[in-house]
Amino acid sequence: MKLSVLSFACAAALAISGLASAETVTRGMAEAGMSPDRGNHGDAANKDPNELNGDHVKYAGRPGSRQNDPIAYHNGPILHGPKVYYIWYGNWTGNTATTILTNFVQNLGGSAYFNINTTYYDIVGSTKTFYNNILTYGGSTNTSSSTYGTSLSDSQIQSVVSDAIASASLPKDTNAVYLVLTSADVTASSGFCTQYCGWHTHGTISGSDIKYGFVGNADRCPSSCAAQSASSPNNNIGADGMASVIAHEIEETVTDPDLNGWYNGNWENGDKCAWTFGTESTASNGSKYNVTLGGSQYLIQQNWIAPAGGCAMHL
């Protein structure tokens, strides 16, 4: 059931959007509709039943949900000035990813790239408030793979977040996104590398509405989840692949944290621009990059300018 729906969604998206670039075709079905995530992942209870599991990506290509249509506001909140917390799951010892991706998130907020999200707002009561391009790194914790093993179910990923909060390894923060980052020896059993590279959702944890997501190490499947697999700007194929997916999930969580904010049909902002990079430059090792953050180069996907401004790297 799930696979057949995904197959349909991917094929339909390719046909309707006309974005079946050689790169996309090469990546094949691994991205499930050209997006590295599952959008409204695992959120059946909170959405229109016509949206199975509330998953935007699965329904890509259905009538009224074209990738390039304007993105629409659905009256829910966005996040204003949120924090990002990392949970490093598995064995990251000796991996430069922890440095590369910490630098990345520490410099994402306030950047010209992230400024695109200031085209998004929410309306609470009669007050309309635009996003302010503030995003703060709140810190990280580590979870051994001995906790839940090396193949995580969706519910176990939520448990990883719940455990970190319950143990006070990380604070409980409803204005934040918690990202579970898994090492290359770990997979996510609902489809990492075959159906998505990452996803975000929200759930009730310790009695509060917590926004969280998953991003797996692209080293596990660089042909599916890394933009470039021969070399990369920071000499770490997996981490450099993850940077783009992390950007995708954070910008979606900011603008659609409870899955009732900004999207059109099946597409959140990150989905609409997944695997498009705009103008690329060549790094000293021959790899490609399109942004410099905190002194390091990254190749990250573009983001959608609301409501109909298209994909870009800055306003």
Residue with smaller CB distance to Zn ion, 176 or 247? 247
Contact 215, 181 (CB under 8 A): yes
Closest-by-Cβ residue to Zn ion is 37
Least CB distance to Zn ion at residue 301 (A)? 10
Instruction: Give the nearest distance from C-beta 73 to Zn ion in angstroms.
Output: 17
Would you report the helix, strand and coil content of the chain in percent, each value rounded to 5? 30, 25, 45
Q: From the CB of 252, what's the least distance to Zn ion, in Å?
A: 5
Q: Report CA 126 to chain centroid distance, whole Å.
A: 30
Of 274 and 291, the one with the shorter C-beta distance to Zn ion is 274
- Minimal distance in Å, beta carbon 198 to Zn ion? 8
The per-residue DSSP string of 166-226 comes to HTTSS---SSEEEEEEE-TT-EETTTBTTTBSEEEEEEEETTEEEEEEEEE-GGG-HHHH-
From the list 14-22, 124-132, 186-194, 251-259, the region that binds Zn ion by CB under 5 A is: 251-259
Assess 43 for contact with Zn ion (CB under 5 A): no
Q: Does 271 bind Zn ion (CB under 5 A)?
A: yes
Residue 37 interacts with Zn ion (CB under 5 A)?
Answer: yes
Residue pair 261/64 in contact by the 8 Å Cβ criterion: no
- Under the binding rule (CB under 5 A), the answer on residue 270 touching Zn ion is yes
Q: Where are the alpha helices (DSSP H) in the chain?
A: 2-17, 22-27, 97-108, 154-166, 222-225, 237-255, 269-272
Count the residues in the chain. 315
- Region of 23-31, 167-175, 230-238, 266-274 interacting with Zn ion (CB under 5 A): 266-274
Interface with Zn ion (CB under 5 A): 35, 37, 39, 252, 270-271
